[in-house]
Amino acid sequence: MPKFLFVTGGVVSSLGKGIASASLGALLESRGLKVTIIKMDPYLNVDPGTMSPFQHGEVFVTEDGAETDLDLGHYERFTDSRSRKSNNFTTGQIYDSVLRKERRGEYLGKTVQVIPHITNEIQDFILRGARVGTPEEVDVAIVEVGGTVGDIESLPFMEAIRQLSLRNGRQSSCFVHLTLVPFIASAGELKTKPTQHSVQKLREIGISPNLLLCRADRPIPQDEREKISLFSNLPMEAVISVADVDSIYRIPRMLWEQKADALICEALGLSVPEANLREWDQLISRLENPQRTVRIAMVGKYVDLTESYKSLSEALIHAGLHTESRVQIDYLDSELLQDGDVQRLEALASYDAILVPGGFGLRGTEGKIRAIQFARERRIPYLGICLGMQLAVIEFARHVAGLAGANSTEFNPASPHPVVGLITEWQDADGSRQTRSEESDLGGTMRLGAQRCPIHPGTRAQRIYGNEVYERHRHRYEVNNAYKSRLRDAGLVIASETPVEQLVEMVELPESVHPWFVAVQFHPEFTSTPRRGHPLFQSFITAAIERQKAKEHSA
Ligand code: GLN
């Protein structure tokens, strides 16, 4: 049986429980342990796929095509573990599963109740997430409980982890509780009371934390830590101060310096080698010593909530770490570029590169197309991701291939040139309707998850990725195969296509025409990590650096 590290949160949400869990995962992994991190979300939605990015931030997509909470992105960035569908589940999924069993008569006529049926189901889901009984069983499963202690909706989860720890016996589980120690400006003091109350609340449920991670805007002094230790009945060393930092990648070291990982290993009865922070320290030193700053214009819709582009902004930062540069991302609202405001458009020229990320819905698309046209015509490095590729194809179709009114049927179903559409629409149109291969039909109508695709030789894509690409998808619309030859004839390079249906995966402009113009149907941002970087983003940032250098040179 794996060991379990349960991470709960207290006082308020948004304290960074996901990052704390991921950082602990990084430390345990560096001690040679095989870890996985599971996120339990107490809401009723079956998954976050249908939730607004304004509400919920980014939807992270796993290799096997699950639409999950963005915390899973942190887990994959901090550790080498790869998440699956089973690493994230919600109250909705638990109830769904229990109700199906009930309908099938699996409870043999018993009254089905929250305790034990829901709580047992939660435990089963946790064991599945930890891959128990499979060759991939982990040493430690870190289980993050979404929400805050005291929430009605998280109670069944709390009860389930309490029972699981009891069931597995001594040294099987360790409880980490993340709380807030606010600084009250008028009193000039850090206040420990909310933390005391939060620990009491946890105890009422029957859970005694082994470790407190106390978030504050500054390091928590000895006095306050003593107070917390006394009132929450924990040894001093178990009260860990987690101060605000300029980079989340400093957290593993911060926790290590206060021996968080050692305390956890002790609580779990694990005698394993010391943590090794070499890679993390290297990363921090890169972070602290950039040679230059590159400025990227990210032209999108959800610009007022950068959480919706979490993985993407992290991927750009990682690329900076691996190219000795600091990446500054300016989020520009595409709607403002929409209506002929030449000055605003012209301002894009001051950037070192332009990026159009993924997105859904009509709003702002014409503004994005203008930005792409600007990048193409002015030879500014351009990276298009998912929607950013579809719009690049539309822009090229309209302005280079002479297909006036070209569009995606997502935005104009009556377009005379639907260069992007639902696969069913364009296959119906040319009479060659085929069914999708199983591989690409993972999520029903949505193409979800990772897919392996060959890359055509002689392309920039091949120089970046090698002969094949294995990246994750999340989209419904595809470039219309019926238009491929016209686009090719006009000079668009289709650099990669899916093996069965020949769906467009990557497009680019030849180097003779543009210094760096690459657009991809998948989401490369999901596989970038700070320690390993990512070839596509590194290539993009390198192009941005080159543009900057060329500008300096000509100035
Ligand atoms: N809206 C487009 C589609 O569904 C693009 C999706 C995306 O960018 N993730 O195909």
Is 57 buried (19+), middle (13-18) or exposed (0-12) by CB count in 10 A?
Answer: buried
Please state the pTM of the whole predicted model: 0.90
How far is residue 111's CA from residue 534's CA, in Å, rounded to a whole number?
52
| Residue 553 known to be catalytic | no
Task: Please tell me the distance between residue 458's alpha carbon and the centre of ligand 1 in angstroms.
Answer: 28
Q: What's the rounded mean pLDDT across residues 376-387?
A: 97
Dump pLDDT digits (tens) for 451-462.
999 999 999 999
Task: Please tell me the distance between residue 387's alpha carbon and the centre of ligand 1 in angstroms.
Answer: 5
- The per-residue pLDDT for 426 is 74
- pLDDT of residue 277 exceeding 50: yes
- The per-residue pLDDT for 303 is 58
Q: Which of 67, 159, 471, 525 is catalytic?
A: 525
Q: Report the residue among 60, 390, 425 best suited for mutation to probe ligand 1: largest number of ligand atoms under 8 A from its CB.
A: 390
User: In ligand 1, which atom is closest to the CA atom of 388?
Assistant: 8
**Residue 436 pLDDT grade (very low, low, confident, very high; cuts 50, 70, 90):** very low
User: In ligand 1, which atom is closest to the CA atom of 420?
Assistant: 10
Dump pLDDT digits (tens) for 86-131.
999 999 999 999 999 999 999 998 999 999 999 999 999 999 999 9
Q: Which of 386, 417, 475, 508 is catalytic?
A: 386
**Residue 432 pLDDT grade (very low, low, confident, very high; cuts 50, 70, 90):** very low
Q: Report the residue among 309, 477, 503 best suited for mutation to probe ligand 1: largest number of ligand atoms under 8 A from its CB.
A: 477
Hey, whose CA ends up nearest to atom 6 of ligand 1? 475
| Residue 399 known to be catalytic | no
- pLDDT of residue 335 exceeding 50: yes
Q: Report the residue among 60, 356, 386 best suited for mutation to probe ligand 1: largest number of ligand atoms under 8 A from its CB.
A: 386
Phi, psi of 538 (to 5 degrees): -65, -40
Nearest to 72 by CA among 283, 254, 310: 310
Phi, psi of 285 (to 5 degrees): -70, -35
Q: Which residues are 89's β-sheet partners? A: 40
- pLDDT of residue 502 exceeding 90: yes
- The per-residue pLDDT for 440 is 38
- The per-residue pLDDT for 306 is 67
Does the beta carbon of 131 lie inside 6 Å of ligand 1? no
Strand (E) or helix (H) holding 498:
none
Does the beta carbon of 352 lie inside 6 Å of ligand 1? no
Hey, whose CA ends up nearest to atom 9 of ligand 1? 358
Task: Please tell me the distance between residue 487's alpha carbon and the centre of ligand 1 in angstroms.
Answer: 20
- The per-residue pLDDT for 54 is 67
Task: Please tell me the distance between residue 503's alpha carbon and the centre of ligand 1 in angstroms.
Answer: 14
CB atoms within 10 A of CB 438: 8
- The per-residue pLDDT for 48 is 74
Does the beta carbon of 359 lie inside 6 Å of ligand 1? yes
Q: What's the rounded mean pLDDT across residues 267-289?
A: 95
Contact 342, 361 (CB under 8 A): no
Dump pLDDT digits (tens) for 130-189.
999 999 999 999 999 999 999 999 999 999 999 999 999 899 999 999 999 999 999 999
**Residue 381 pLDDT grade (very low, low, confident, very high; cuts 50, 70, 90):** very high
Cα→Cα distances 128→120, 490, 518, Å: 12, 51, 39
User: In ligand 1, which atom is closest to the CA atom of 360?
Assistant: 1
How far is residue 176's CA from residue 6's CA, in Å, rounded to a whole number?
6
CA angle 147-524-538, nearest 5°?
Answer: 115
Q: What percent of the chain has pLDDT over 70?
A: 95
The full DSSP string for 338-396 is: SS--HHHHHGGGGSSEEEE----SSTTHHHHHHHHHHHHHTT--EEEETHHHHHHHHHH
How far is residue 195's CA from residue 177's CA, in Å, rounded to a whole number?
10
Give buried/exposed letters for 389-418 (b at 16+ CB in 10 A, else e): bbbbbbbbbbbbbebeebbbbbbbeebebb
Dump pLDDT digits (tens) for 211-260.
999 999 999 999 999 999 999 999 999 999 999 999 999 999 999 999 99
| Residue 497 known to be catalytic | no
- The per-residue pLDDT for 551 is 92
Mean pLDDT for the chain? 92
Per the structure block, which two tokens stand in for 525?
A: 């941002």
User: In ligand 1, which atom is closest to the CA atom of 410?
Assistant: 1
Hey, whose CA ends up nearest to atom 5 of ligand 1? 387
**Residue 431 pLDDT grade (very low, low, confident, very high; cuts 50, 70, 90):** very low
User: In ligand 1, which atom is closest to the CA atom of 361?
Assistant: 1
